[in-house]
Structure 1
């Protein structure tokens, strides 16, 4: 019984340490794309050998960040409940969820080589992409979203507006709630039937 509890505690501690390293890596690499594993270790408050225990090479860390971002996007999409209620409200919920992932998504966008390092395909359609496109088509069919605009175009508009909101907070020091309000307001106008 005691060994099960010890194993569970060790597993929880490892997961927390790994999460701290990933979070620190996102913060550090967002500020300095050339940050080393030693820089990440310092930001995470762990030793360099601890980072190397979890991620042997920088490419391993980048791959883990890429996987983490994909998982977070999928979880955010699920939390947005895209099948519930009118399409514009579901689109707002999705935008709110994605907005919280700004640092991670901006990092992927800011470092052109990231996709190659992480082993992910930037152009690959994900389950979240398919869910968003299905939501747009549903809204177009029921008349709550503009039926004359291509669904892929509206998907790209959503991402462009999110990027603009993230940039507004980063470059103009606009409060996040203000940038998000501007993003949602513009999205609603762009998608209105």
Structure 2
């Protein structure tokens, strides 16, 4: 009887360990994209070998941290009211998106360094779907431009968000001005 109960306990312990490691990676990489696996292990309260027992490579760990950030961000963005006027919906979505992107700008930089080309984009499938539907809705309403492909416009929105986050990190854009700057820039692109 003791053998079956020991096995689920190890699984639960491993899951808690993984959660601590991912949380530590997300926190550290969001502050410093060059945070090492040793730094993350220390912050998680585990040994380096424990980290590598769950994540074969630093890239696997970075991807797990990015997935966790995207999941949390998606929960925030899913709560945004996108009904009604597409222009107002984009403004509301950008306000929430900006906070999510700003929080993970350094984590995205870490991911871009270690993940294969296109992987960061693949991980953003749900936010891309949401923005694609919103831009398409704005086109149907006649408030967004129809002379450029929707996929291109979604990419431009992402570039603006990530670019603003980098500008804030570099000290060239005040964080309190970023949301308004992002919104004005995106709306100018979408309404061209």
- TM-score, normalised with respect to structure 2: 0.72
2: CA distance, partners of 1:78 / 1:17: 25
Q: What residue number does 2:24 align with?
A: 21
1: CA distance, partners of 2:148 / 2:116: 32
RMSD: 3.4
In structure 2, stretches of 5+ residues that fail to align are 1-8
Q: What residue number does 2:78 align with?
A: 78
Distance of aligned partners of 1:155 and 1:59 in 2 relative to their CA distance in 1, 3 Å threshold: closer
Shift of 1:88: 1.3
Q: C-alpha deviations, 1:117-142, integer Å up to 9, x for none? A: 9xx83454723322211110111111
Q: What residue number does 1:4 align with?
A: none
Q: What residue number does 1:3 align with?
A: none
Q: What residue number does 1:104 align with?
A: 104
2: CA distance, partners of 1:70 / 1:86: 26
2: CA distance, partners of 1:96 / 1:67: 21
Q: What residue number does 2:129 align with?
A: 130
Distance of aligned partners of 1:14 and 1:183 in 2 relative to their CA distance in 1, 3 Å threshold: same
Distance of aligned partners of 1:150 and 1:110 in 2 relative to their CA distance in 1, 3 Å threshold: same
Specify which structure has the bigger relative contact order, considering alpha-carbon pairs within 8 angstroms and separated by 6 or more residues. Answer: 2
Q: What residue number does 1:188 align with?
A: 187
